[in-house]
Amino acid sequence: MRIHFYKYQGTGNDFVMIDNRNEMFPKNNASLINQLCDRRFGVGADGLILLENADDADFTMVYFNADGTESTMCGNGGRCLVAFANQLNIIIEKATFNAVDGLHHATFNDGIVSLQMIDVTKVETHKNYFFLDTGSPHHIEMVTEIKQVDVKNRGAKIRNGAPYFKEGTNVNFVEAVSDNSIKVRTFERGVEDETLSCGTGVTAAAIATFNAGITKENNIDIEVLGGKLSVSFIKDNDTYKNVFLTGPATFVFKATIEI
């Protein structure tokens, strides 16, 4: 089988992108998706994204983890998909697309994508961590020396431990820098390792730190290993609305692979 694909990255969070409007890609083949995402035996990526048709939007996003399982929302993947749709001439500057967590709106301008995320209605505050869902579940833990954190091992223990167990969670370690800036490192389930960036993760971290009074402004700058992102929002009573994740989405290359 010959598969034509595009490679994109958003602050180091990288994806195999496939135009599946003809519905020819065998998306139930988890082993194939895993092989394409494998960094030694395939293309190499944190996930695979299919762009498909939609009746009520510009397109549909279908996201798979690197292990081949269909997953919850991916913020950086959604931003990269908007840039991909622009490259395919499906959209120009504005996009509306369906994802597993609902309808999303986005803008594309000179390589920068601003993606509207879902509203957040609940931020759980626990003794040593926060938990919230920004389209994907996120455990948020504050640290003081983020460079020293063993993200892979600590994240793996939390990912399947109490109270998450089988379903698991993404795990974010966050260091406060100022009233409007933080640093974030993320262990992603499905990748089962630290990634250079996680869009839903930085969104969760920005909201959680603001909700706890750790940050003071509703437009937060975030430094990740792969670069810089920003998250803005409006707090309306206990609900976070107009949540936008903004940053670069970059085309890397396109090719055909024989599987």
Return all residues near 54 (Cβ < 8 A) that are at least 6 apart.
60, 97, 98
Query: Does the domain spanning 2-116+248-258 belong to CATH 3.10.310.10?
Result: yes
DSSP 117: P
Q: Is 26 helix (H, G, I), strand (E, B) or coil?
A: coil
Query: Does the domain spanning 124-244 belong to CATH 3.10.310.10?
Result: yes
Domains of the chain, by residue range, sit at: 2-116+248-258, 124-244
Return all residues near 165 (Cβ < 8 A) that are at least 6 apart.
none
Active site residues: 74, 198
Distance CA 152, CA 135 (A): 22
As given in the structure block, the two tokens for residue 258 are 């024989």
Within 10 angstroms of residue 213's Cβ, the number of other Cβ atoms is 7
Give, for all 259 residues of the chain, the pLDDT tens digit. 899 999 999 999 999 999 999 999 999 999 999 999 999 999 999 999 999 999 999 999 999 999 999 999 999 999 999 999 999 999 999 999 999 999 999 999 999 999 999 999 999 999 999 999 999 999 999 999 999 999 999 999 999 888 998 789 999 999 999 999 999 999 999 999 999 999 999 999 999 999 999 999 999 999 999 999 999 999 999 999 999 999 999 999 999 998 8
pTM of the model: 0.96
**Residue 166's pLDDT is what?**
78
